[in-house]
Amino acid sequence: MLKLNIKDTLSFISEEELSSFSRIIADCNKALYNKTGKGNDFLGWIDLPSKTTNDDLNRIKNCASVLASQSDIIVVIGIGGSYLGARAVIDALSNNFNGLLSKEKRKLPLILYAGQNIGEDYHNELLSILDKKDYSIIVISKSGTTTEPAIAFRLLKAHIEKKYGKDSSRKRIVALTDKIKGALKKLSDSEGYETFVIPDDVGGRFSVLTPVGLLPIIAAGFDIDKILTGARGMENLCRSDINNPADLYAAVRNILHGKGKDIEILASYSPNLNYFIEWWKQLYGESEGKDGKGIFPAGVNYTSDLHSMGQLIQDGKRNIFETVISIDSSKTSLNFPFVEGDPDGLNFLAGKSLGEINHKAEQGTRMAHVSGGVPNISINLPELNEESIGELIYFFEKACALSGYLLGVNPFDQPGVEAYKKNMFQLLGKPGI
């Protein structure tokens, strides 16, 4: 089970401050569970793990099986929460060099992504790959008119229909969209695509445990039952234990924010978690950043970023705190070799596993940063697997909702994301703008 350690924040905050926040957190929990707080029509995620049925999962599994059987590649089209959650989990659980493995070694299709950018070269290069491979499409959009995914889907729909023919291509496209309305729903009905519903009461950035995330994840070969088992365990813990880790994390980060720590850096010592950090950045940035408020979410991957961002974190402006996702055990073991003559001076490491060396780097970094004025929160997972990822997802979602309420904002809307679109559409000459 996930464990939260705040000992390296206690020289920056007091027990009295924690006690004071525990009372405020209790009120925030009441607002969440009684659905009386801001954005209460978007709280479907709060009991989603326990409400997901075997019938729901079996339909997702059957669809994923069909897609996998006919595809070398599955392209997931979406942006923001419509793709980041799935990619976060898939990358966390995959071989780091998955793209170089044959389908026989992977057993299942390679998952690629489109619609998260409008890069001309990116989409041209993707189409050139798809020319040579059997593929299917999972398109994710509540409305069907979100600019980046809509552009990508128009391109890929034309490509797949030209490659396989209009009738055959219908069996290679699955749409995740609104239950009754929107451009993608209308198109899916007219074309006969299989569809899954994006729940009305679950916002995109909280949607990874809906079909939005679960369908791509199982198509990539991972066990969604175990992911939901982990999420259910954290859901139950957060509801039943007043000292649960999500509540404590929300309290500590907001106490630190009140002391001028306006930037939170989420760090990991595992390259597999790069996109999990990206998912977290969207979850917290889009949920908290409004009304002139918010803790700025940044991400680093250690030890590589100790050679770039490390100087600023150690000696820069003292407006940051760190949260570190720490993995106790690696999936594999690799011992460092002994070399006669010790030409690089590293024989003192001989016989130690790289996992042990990485953990010592983590401990040494934490000691240096805390002594340099950077509070550290630690999130410990026994290992990086489906169950622990499920726990981590729900932990961050619950803490995010509480943090938004502590800041006094609605954590479930995103009024600021439309500003760039208005300007872009004016520049492109969209009618009616």
Domain boundaries, the chain: 3-37+227-413, 45-222
The answer on pLDDT for 426 being more than 90 is no
DSSP-based helix, strand, coil % in the chain, nearest 5: 55, 15, 30
Indicate if 45-222 has the same CATH topology as 3-37+227-413: yes
Pick the CATH number of 45-222 from 3.40.50.880, 3.40.30.10, 3.40.50.300, 3.40.50.10490: 3.40.50.10490
Residue 425: its pLDDT value, please?
82
Give me the pLDDT at residue 422, please. 80
- Taking only the tens place, the pLDDT of each residue in 353-412 is 999 999 999 999 999 999 999 999 999 999 999 999 999 999 999 999 999 999 999 999
Instruction: Check residue 189 and give its pLDDT.
Output: 97
Active-site residue, selected from the candidate residues 104, 105, 132, 307: 307
Q: Which of 7, 107, 352, 421 is catalytic?
A: 421
pLDDT of residue 411: 97
Mean pLDDT over 209-232 rounds to 98
> What pLDDT does residue 241 have?
81
Task: Provide the edge-to-edge strand list for the sheet that holds 173-177.
Answer: 110-114, 73-77, 135-140, 173-177, 194-197
Residue 420: predicted pLDDT? 83
286 annotated active-site? yes
Contact 87, 275 (CB under 8 A): yes
What pLDDT is stored for residue 191 in this prediction?
97
pLDDT at 378: 98
Instruction: Of 102, 98, 92, give the one whose Cα is nearest residue 112.
Output: 98
Q: What is the pLDDT of residue 242?
A: 79
pLDDT > 80? residue 200: yes
pLDDT tens for residues 78-107? 999 999 999 999 999 999 999 898 877 777
**Has residue 282 got a pLDDT over 80?**
yes
Q: Any bridge partners for residue 76, and if so which? A: 113, 138
pLDDT of 419 strictly over 90: no
Per-residue confidence (pLDDT) for residue 115, from 0 to 100: 97
Q: What is the pTM of this model?
A: 0.96
Looking at CATH, the fold of the domain delimited by 3-37+227-413 is given as Rossmann fold (3.40.50)
Tokens, residue 194: 């299989």
**pLDDT tens track for 159-199:** 999 999 999 999 999 999 999 999 999 999 999 999 999 99
Check 235, 286, 322, 397 and give the catalytic one: 286
Taking all residues of the chain, what is their mean pLDDT, rounded to a whole number?
A: 95
